[in-house]
Structure 1
Amino acid sequence: MITLRQMEYLVTVVEQGSFTRAAELLHVTQPALSHQMRVLERAVGAPLLERLPRSVRLTPTGRALLPHARAALADARRSLCAARQAAGLEAGELEVATLYSVSLGVLPSALRAWRQAHPDVHIRLFEHRHVDELLAAMREGQADVAVGPPPPDWDGPVRALGVEEFVVVLPTDDPVGADGGGRVDLGVLAEREWVHYAPGHGLADLVERVCAAAGFQPRASVRTEQTASAPLLAAAGLGPALVPANVLPPGFDGLVLRPDPPVRRPLTAYSRRGGDPLTTAFVDVLAREATVLPAHLRDALQP
């Protein structure tokens, strides 16, 4: 009989890449952890992990079992939350998966409202670089709810949250802003070197697509992993940057222009079928409070 504890051991070893680190995190001895992994392998009938000098590697059998182990653990956590909710116990943990740019610009206001309404329900945030990684993690059962672009072929509830607007950031004295119209055709920036995103970052793909639609391929003066760094680097004169408007704080010291035509991205919250009341309540707060379009830029970004 495979137990949830054994599945937790497997997932933790894989995520930590080490029996030693996994044992420390799980508060068990390494021999006890190794013993339980051998018991699990005997129950499955095949090795699950290959022990390398500095890490571990999943076998084909392990790769087949891992997403089911993660889903089983997620289902167990959701069952506990549902039971607590049914018993009137407003306590526990809600797991939310999202993108780095969304956690920076969209979620803080919603998380603040959630914290005020449910102070004993803590949030565990899983952040991903790319929408494909986010969707794959949700399919494996990583979190209770995901916040990101609409997921293709998703068979659970999907709630629209709104549409993000993207803006171009430049230094305040850049001549592109001299006409005072507040808009820019990306084609006029074709010869510039851009503040770009690192390969594998979801916004790197977006920049490439919109620049290709404008007839050019952007050349990078610098590439950043951090969405928050892009507007600061652009305002400092390293090149134009395309960023979600919601990551810019009020009083941002840079020239902010709306691309013409506009660049937009719809955002949703999605979860699996049969979600518990806690997840539903969180999605309701997201729909009311998420900062998809910031108030201080709303008038400037309206058509």
Structure 2
Amino acid sequence: MASLRQLEYLVTVVDTGSFTRAAEQLHVTQPALSHQMRALEQTVGGPLLERLPRAVRLTPMGRAMLPHARAALADAERARCAARQAGGLMAGELLVATVYSVSLGVLPPALRVWRRERPEVDVRLFEYRHADELREAMTAGEADVAVGPVPEGWDGPVRHLGTEEFVVVLPTDSTDSANTAERSADATVDLATLADCAWVHYAPGHGLAELVDRACADAGFRPRPAVRTEQTAAAPILAAAGLGPALVPANVLPPRFEGRVLRPSTPVRRRLAAYTRPGPDPLTSGFVDVLAEHATV
């Protein structure tokens, strides 16, 4: 059976890309590190690393093992923290992973309640560009709970939080065909009327870029970007400044937003959930309960 130390050695070699750098970081000799890696490879029945002249590369067996090694180390660290917390040696820490847009609009109310109720628990927030990256982080054990789009086929607990609505943002003096819509809370716009506009779009690899492309494709066109942004919060500001329409989560807009906000006549929505690995600890389960009650979706 592989030891935690051997798994730590494997992860460190991969992360540093070198046995020499890994040995320095782990404060062990390189021969001792190499010996432990050979022992680990004998345990699993095959090579995990390919040793190149200037680098180290994972073999297929190594790629299969790496996320489980990371998860085992993360679980061990959480067990250590739980034991120290129970012994009064330290406060708890909660690792929360999410995607950019959710950290802006959905999480803050829940985090405010959690902080008021559990001030002794530190929260570390990890933000990812895409739901696939979020899921990979959870699989690798890099967080206790993920908050984002509902994952398909997840084998741990999934708590549905609600459905996120998207709106179109335009400058207040917009004169395009969308300007015929009534200026009211129920104002809508057919995305097809914006087909000739240059859009405020999201950078490639950003999860919302795919959502915008899909919504526009359903309306019969492909959006032409005027500008692309990595930051979800920047999209409505750029749209209100006149660079082009933007499709944004309604919950990221500030209370006194100056831009013009319209609902797509064909609603654009995204279901959100909180999910954990099987058997979440009480701290994680308690945070999910707070999310279900207080997250703004």
When normalised by structure 1's length, the TM-score is 0.84
Counterpart check, 1:273 vs 2:273: no
Query: 1:142 Cα deviation (Å)?
Result: 2.4
Q: Is the 8 A contact 1:147 1:267 kept in 2?
A: yes
Farther off after superposition, 79-88 or 157-166: 79-88
Counterpart check, 1:184 vs 2:184: no
Letter in 1 for 2:208: L
For each residue in 1:141-200, what CA deviation from the matched residue of structure 2 results, as whole angstroms up to 9, or x when unmatched?
A: 222111112111122211111111111111111133453252111011010011111111
Q: Is the 8 A contact 2:23 2:33 kept in 1?
A: no
Structure-2 separation of matches of 1:114 and 1:23 = 40
Q: Aligned runs of 1:72-151 on 2, under 5 Å?
A: 72-80=72-80, 82-83=82-83, 91-151=91-151
Aligned counterpart in structure 2 of residue 232 of structure 1, from 237, 244, 250: 237
Structure 2 partner of 1:163: 163
Q: Classify the secondary structure of the residue corresponding to 1:110.
A: helix
Letter in 1 for 2:170: L
Structure 1 pair 12–236 and aligned structure 2 pair: CA distance change class (3 A)? farther
Q: Classify the secondary structure of the residue corresponding to 1:124.
A: strand
Structure-1 separation of matches of 2:201 and 2:88 = 48
Letter in 2 for 1:136: E
Q: Is the 8 A contact 1:2 1:40 kept in 2?
A: no
Letter in 1 for 2:57: R
Query: 1:50 Cα deviation (Å)?
Result: 4.9
Structure 1 pair 65–231 and aligned structure 2 pair: CA distance change class (3 A)? same
Counterpart check, 1:196 vs 2:193: no
Structure 2 partner of 1:205: 210
Give the number of aligned pairs.
289
Q: Classify the secondary structure of the residue corresponding to 1:227.
A: coil
Structure 1 pair 229–140 and aligned structure 2 pair: CA distance change class (3 A)? same
Query: 1:85 Cα deviation (Å)?
Result: 6.7
Q: Is the 8 A contact 1:165 1:265 kept in 2?
A: yes
Structure-1 separation of matches of 2:22 and 2:258 = 45
Counterpart check, 1:2 vs 2:7: no
Structure-1 separation of matches of 2:121 and 2:95 = 10
Structure 1 partner of 2:264: 259
Letter in 1 for 2:226: S
Q: Identity of paired residues, percent?
A: 68
Q: Is the 8 A contact 1:96 1:147 kept in 2?
A: yes
Structure-2 separation of matches of 1:226 and 1:251 = 20
Structure 1 pair 245–174 and aligned structure 2 pair: CA distance change class (3 A)? same
Structure 2 partner of 1:285: 290
For each residue in 1:38-67, what CA deviation from the matched residue of structure 2 results, as whole angstroms up to 9, or x when unmatched?
A: 522332135544566876532333212201
Letter in 2 for 1:223: R
Structure 1 partner of 2:173: 173
Q: Is the 8 A contact 1:92 1:122 kept in 2?
A: yes
Query: 1:251 Cα deviation (Å)?
Result: 1.0
Structure 1 partner of 2:33: 36
Instruction: Please give the root-mean-square deviation of Cα atoms over the aligned residues, in Å.
Output: 2.6
Structure 2 partner of 1:298: none
Aligned counterpart in structure 2 of residue 217 of structure 1, from 216, 222, 242: 222
Instruction: Name structure 1 gaps, 5 residues minimum.
Output: 293-303
Structure-2 separation of matches of 1:16 and 1:49 = 13
Query: 1:252 Cα deviation (Å)?
Result: 1.4
Letter in 1 for 2:128: H
Structure-2 separation of matches of 1:20 and 1:249 = 50
Q: Classify the secondary structure of the residue corresponding to 1:220.
A: strand
Instruction: Name structure 2 gaps, 5 residues minimum.
Output: none
Structure-1 separation of matches of 2:203 and 2:20 = 32
Structure 1 pair 32–250 and aligned structure 2 pair: CA distance change class (3 A)? farther
Structure-2 separation of matches of 1:128 and 1:34 = 37
Structure 1 pair 44–164 and aligned structure 2 pair: CA distance change class (3 A)? same
Query: 1:267 Cα deviation (Å)?
Result: 0.8
